[in-house]
Copies of this chain bind each other. A is one copy, B any other.
Amino acid sequence: MKSFKKELWFNTTNRRELINITSLVEQCLNESGITEGLLLCNAMHITSSIFINDDESGLHNDFEVWLEKLAPEKPYSQYRHNGYEDNADAHLKRTVMGREVVVAVTDGRLDFGPWERIFYGEFDGKRKKRVLVKIIGE
């Protein structure tokens, strides 16, 4: 069995951003030399997400509006977590969007449907944060 691990770093300009990281994850797979197995990609921070969806700007706007409705950023005082911090909403938004994806590796490629793309979802940005890619197989 082979295994491979790499950390990807992000530092967004805005508090919230969705970034297509599919090609970065494909690079990891190529580096690993693994052709059959499973790939895990997860946020290493608890206020950001890894998820799979469509790379379409209208949809990304819909996600922003929807997450703000389900778990609004403000008023900060509505959350008990917001004593020294103001990011309780980011913990909730990340919960909706998910921490991780597991992707099949077949014939040396991410075994994806036609529109599947991997996104980093940042909900409390403007600072350096990490994503883990771990691949096992052979």
Looking at the complex, which one of B81, B92, B104, B115 makes contact with A46 (CB distance below 8 Å)? Answer: B115
Instruction: Indicate whether A108 reaches chain B with its CB closer than 8 angstroms.
Output: no
- Chain A: residues with CB nearer than 8 A to chain B? 1, 3, 5, 36-38, 40, 42-46, 51-54, 56-59, 61-63, 66, 70-71, 79-83, 88, 91-92, 94-104, 106, 111-116, 130, 132, 134, 136-138
Question: Given A45-B115, A51-B95, A53-B95, 18 more contacts at CB 8 Å?
Answer: A1-B36, A1-B138, A3-B37, A36-B136, A40-B102, A40-B103, A44-B114, A51-B99, A53-B94, A58-B80, A58-B81, A59-B91, A62-B81, A62-B91, A62-B92, A95-B98, A96-B96, A136-B137
